[in-house]
Structure 1
Amino acid sequence: MAIKGGLKTADSLFARGIEVNKNCALCHCYDETSSHLFFECDYSFAILSILMRNLGFLLLRPNILQIFEYIEDTHHKDKDFFFLLICCAVYYIWRERNDRKFGGKSVSSTTLAHKIKTAVLSKILKWKKVENLLHLL
């Protein structure tokens, strides 16, 4: 849904005639769109940078499709792991956005990255050859 713009972000709600605060709940600096929320936002990019340490070399912040292409091109043998990591990050970033908008709770990008790593670790422990992936977390 994040790729197809199916999430109910401020821009999609506004396009449907629903008046909402358009500011990003994570950085409070830009209008909330799917693209901004998951990849352009400083908060989200900090999380992605912690999870995928080698993103720092990119001159521009990638969108979700560019990250999937990057994984496909550079991490052939571990691509399932990285796809899981990115999908988990999208899910947790969306939950954090909702917690901030509707629950009045927030955590730092470092704390959320740790939660994501923990969730991914609990999933990959059931995979074959998990020992080859542990160094990536």
Structure 2
Amino acid sequence: MYNLGSLIGLWYRVKYDSPWKHSPITASKFWKLFCKTAVAIKPVVSLSVHHNSNLSFLWDPWCNNGSVAELTDSIRISHLWVGDFISSNGWNLPDYIPASIKSIISNLLIVREGPVLTWNSRTVTSCPNNRTFSELFHSNLEDVPWFKFIWHKGYALWYASYSWMAIQRKLKMADILNLRGIPLNPNCSFCLGNLESHSHVYFECDYSFLLLTALFPDLVKFYLRPNLMQVFDIFGSYRNFTKVDRNFCYFVMAILVYHLWRERNNRRFSSVWRSPSELKNVIIHAIEAKASNWRHYDSLKNHFKEILG
């Protein structure tokens, strides 16, 4: 993935080839992806002409949002810049350029100052940045509204990865492995009385629900036990929570998800068991190790006394 600055920089440094046209078969994967990206954003950008412009005269789409190559089959001028045809802030076009093309180019304004590339998107009200480019580049992808539960400010990659897998049902639970023909004891490693699945481990099981309510006592008030996504939604709906409070809850949940998965594996493969109180202490220690460096740690201690003391 390119940021906007590097993309524009590459445009200016390409002299004998252009990212706007199709890349040759022998081009590298990087160059092919670059050309594909440039073509994809072409409809929402425009190029301005300056007296010393170093845009490709033939290939770059500076001529009424199109390229001169679209108007002629000649490649005689393929190696020249737009600035090579400007003299004293006016156009100086040679005779071998067809009159019809001359007429179009002569009506184009030559700008003295300002950006060479501008963003035309209606959603952009100021100078575009890398976020603007990234949103456009990924606009064809499905929106994932729960990303804020995982990739919030202050997330820890190790723990967040397990939360992402748990929400996506990607952890190797017994029900999934058995469905794929991999034999495994189907019973939950915590309660031993129910079938193991993502929804059961997070948080239908007595063991995991006891840990959840030990960290967040308010959740014990719910009549039915929530699943993982519902717990995230509950934290997001608390009106008295600040953004920092919500991010902290999401962070704690990620650590809880990880340590429950680790405890499950220890019980299955190492026959090592921890009681809920022992695992709670391990989780709190992991939380403090990360959150103690947060800017709002003192205020979080007042709001979450069950976790931070």
> Same fold per TM (> 0.5)?
yes
CA distance in 2, matches of 1:41, 1:76: 30
What residue number does 1:89 align with?
Answer: 256
1:7 aligns with 2:174: no
TM-score for the superposition, normalised by structure 2: 0.44
Distance 1:38 1:115 in 2: 18
For 1:1-137, list aligned pairs within 5 A.
Answer: 1-74=165-238, 75-77=241-243, 78-135=245-302, 136=304, 137=307
How far has the Cα of 1:92 moved from its partner? 0.2
Residues 76 and 70 (structure 1), Cα distance of their counterparts in 2 relative to 1, 3 Å cut = farther
Q: Deviations over 1:16-55 (max 9, x none)?
A: 0111100000110100001101210000000000011111
Describe the SS at the equivalent of 1:48. Answer: helix
Structure having the larger proportion of residues in helix: 1
CA–CA distance in 2 between the matches of 1:43 and 1:96? 11
Alpha-carbon offset, residue 76 of structure 1: 3.5
Identity of aligned residues (%): 39
Cα deviation per residue 1:77-128 (whole Å; 9 max; x = unaligned)? 3001000111100000000000000011000011111111111111111100
More strand by share: 2
CA RMSD of aligned residues (A): 0.9
Bigger Rg over Cα:
2
TM-score using structure 1 length = 0.97
Moved more, 67-76 or 82-91: 67-76
Q: Residue 68 of structure 1: CA displacement?
A: 0.6
Shift >3 Å, 4+ stretches: none
SS at structure 2 position matched to 1:79: helix
Considering Cα pairs closer than 8 Å and 6+ residues apart, tell me whether 1 or 2 has the greater RCO.
Answer: 1
How many positions carry a matched residue from both structures? 137
SS at match of 1:44: helix
